[in-house]
Each structure stands twice: as structure tokens, then as C-alpha cells.
A = this chain, B = another copy of it.
């Protein structure tokens, strides 16, 4: 497999540059990219140091490293763009056209997108995270009144990370409830959960994949057996259909995909925090 170096450069966290680079590089699956993040490049000295690293890598690798950047300061950006790397800068590409369209100069200030936030937003996000933890795995059902969504599903369908992702990224209050063997046999959710039917969202998964995932966790034992996984998934899906709970086959979806699909299907607000 061909190899190539890629740098993520940012004057702040590097989260935007990383997302940008990751999206673009994922379109070249036959190349193995070695990425190196250089966040907080906010002085001339640090920029000169980054240029040195890029140039050394270029010399050693015998190919120009790709550089994905979000650098607001024009001078620092020029310095970085002078490296041996192939420079792709988000602000460089889009800020000019955007300024012309909006008829004003941009603030040109560093780290605004993942930076300072007001106390109310910050605490509402933390509240959502704490809510997710408090109501994780079926505990504190008494707090379901406050949930925007209650995710239900058998063990290892991604309920917990999806809830936390939604809390962290969008500040959504999400509880999650695991279907127990007893409930699967009865074919019925308990009344205290079912009364929130309008907020319920089911997760299901291919039994083969569930088997693989459970095996990675605990090898051997009935829990991870394919037959057990097949039984649980079939019983859960039957329950979702009968109680008209919308559900999603997570297949090989990532947490991000599951989370944004739930927001989308449940028609929930999607505000970045």
C-alpha cells in the first residue's frame, strides 16, 4: 500500500482541520496516510518549527506531505504555506468568497469555533452529559420525563456511546434502556418505559455483527453465542414493530451515523454546542 504523510495544522484545537483532512483523505482508500497533528500553532516560532517538521518529513519520505490547515492569522498562514507541503487551508479557500457575499471583513480571530463558550451553553452541555450518565443502562427511569429521546435495544447495540455523543455534541438529553432477557421473553417493555413511547427509539443490529462485537468483549459463554444474538435481535425487533417504536438497524454504522440518524428521524433540533 502506498504511504503518504499528512499534517493537521491549526492555531487552536485542530478539530476542524482534522475533520477536513479526514473527510478528504478517506476518499483515497488505497493510500495509507500517516497523520501528525500540530495544534496550537499560534506564534511565528511555532510556525517556523512546523515548517521545519514538514520539510524534514518531505526530505525523508521523498514526497510532499499533505497539509490540512485552519490558520486565521495571514502572516502565520503565509509562513506555513511556504513549506514543502501541499497546503490546503479552509479559511484560505472559503473566507474570501464568504466575506464578499456577506459584504464585510471576517473577525480574523483565532479559535472561535471550538473555543470560548458562555456559561449557560457550557453548563447545559455538561447537564446533558451528566443526564446521560445518570440514566445510562436503564437506571433512574424516574428521570425519563426530561429525555428528548430514550434509546432502547439489547446489549452492545451502541446505546451508551450514542447517548453520550448526542449529549456532548448537541446537548441533547438522551437516556438509554437495555432490553433484558425477561422483557424479551415477555415481548413487552415495562409500563414505566412504554408510557414514554413517543420518545422511544430502538437500535438493532445484524446478529452476526453483534456476535462479533460481543466476542471482542467476552469470549465464550452464552452471551456472545451466535444463536443467543439471533434470538435477542429477533425478539427485540418484534417488540419494536408491535409497539410501533421506530428503530434503526445500525449495521456497520459508526456512532456519529447512528446519532445523527436518530436526530434526523426524530425531528430533533441539531445545534452545535
Contacts and interface: CB of A to CB of B under 8 A. Distances in A.
User: How many identical chains are in the complex?
Assistant: 2
A136 B101 CA distance: 47
A207 interface: no
A24 B95 contact: yes
Given A27-B106, A112-B27, A260 B39 contact: yes
Contacts of A29: 107, 112
Contacts of A13: 256-257, 260-261
Q: Which of A86, A106, A254 lies at the interface centre, i.e. has the most chain B CB atoms within 10 A of its CB?
A: A254
A136 B255 CA distance: 21
Interface in A45-103: 64, 66, 70, 72, 86, 88, 90-91, 93-95, 97-98, 101-102
A196 B234 CA distance: 46
Contacts of A212: 119
Nearest to A97: B88
B64 A104 contact: no
A123 B12 contact: no
A140 interface: no
B16 A101 contact: no
Contacts of A192: none
Interface of A: 4, 12-16, 18-20, 22-24, 26-31, 35, 37, 39-40, 64, 66, 70, 72, 86, 88, 90-91, 93-95, 97-98, 101-102, 104, 106-109, 111-117, 119-120, 122-123, 125-127, 129-130, 133, 136, 156, 158, 160-161, 164-165, 168, 209, 212-213, 216-217, 252-257, 260-261, 264, 270-272
